[in-house]
Amino acid sequence: MISIIMPAYNAALYIKEAITSVLNQTYQDWELIIIDDHSTDETTQLIEHFSEMDSRILYIINKTNLGVAAARNKGISIATGEWIAFLDSDDCWHPEKLKKQIDFAESHQGGFIFSGSSFMDESSTPLDYYLTVPEAITYKELLKQNIISCSSVLIRKTLLKNHPMEHASKMHEDFAVWLQILRYETDFAYGINEPLLIYRISSTSKSGNKIKAGLMTFRVYRYLGIHFVPAFYYWICYFIRSVKKYSRLL
């Protein structure tokens, strides 16, 4: 079974689309764990509506706002599946996303799988660009650019055991986890070069603020104990590749 972790905070505008994309998956052996991080809009009511429709949808309401990293960690801690997938409450999946990834995992004996992405704007209008990904990526290559979108990942729960997500307000917590897993747990993450994730470009997201995103990326390198000089080199690689990526989205 796949346990899908979805943090949600004031997500009423988009969460219906995200949950519907899970319900529409051709692979149906899943549970969806939604962590409502103390929302103040209609997010809770929408989640309750879907959980009444489908018993595989579980939800927890945090008494205080803990942040996306703590929300994901809480979801992982109660997940019962062998596999973990992440889906942010403003993103969506292609209907074949889970099926193609679980089939790939079985045929290639891979424990860490991600995919390419297509993009949409804040009004759900598709953008004419998609992110291609390599067949596999190593720790050193990932340092140069994080091409592993969190909402595209399917990963064995055992690989996450020793690497909780941390410091989401200061750095890209998912990027730090992917690097630690490739550094200590497995040699490769395997990419499926198809846009199985539909990623929403939002001006209010961390990735939407380019200066903030750049600083958070550099903090990941320092958090991992990388010396300032090589960290700066990897950041330059990140900057150049990010400029090329986002220039295609404009």
pLDDT, tens only, 57-99 = 999 999 999 999 999 999 999 999 999 999 999 999 999 999 9
Q: What is the pLDDT of residue 169?
A: 84
The predicted structure's pLDDT at residue 206 = 46
Query: What is the tens place of the pLDDT at every residue in 187-208?
Result: 999 999 999 999 999 766 545 5
The 8-class DSSP code of residue 152 comes to: G
Phi, psi angles (nearest 5°) of residue 191: -105, 140
In total, the chain counts a number of residues equal to 250
Name the CA dihedral angle for 140, 229, 163, 105, rounded to a multiple of 10 degrees.
Answer: -10
d(C-alpha 192, C-alpha 116), whole Å: 6
pLDDT score at 249: 62
Q: Which residues of the chain have pLDDT under 70?
A: 203-208, 246-250
Average pLDDT value for the chain = 94
Q: In terms of DSSP bridges, do strands 112-120 and 2-8 run parallel, antiparallel, or are they unpaired?
A: unpaired
Residue 52 burial by CB count (10 A; 0-12/13-18/19+): exposed, middle or buried? exposed
pLDDT attached to residue 250? 57
Quick one: fold of 2-203?
Spore Coat Polysaccharide Biosynthesis Protein SpsA; Chain A (3.90.550)
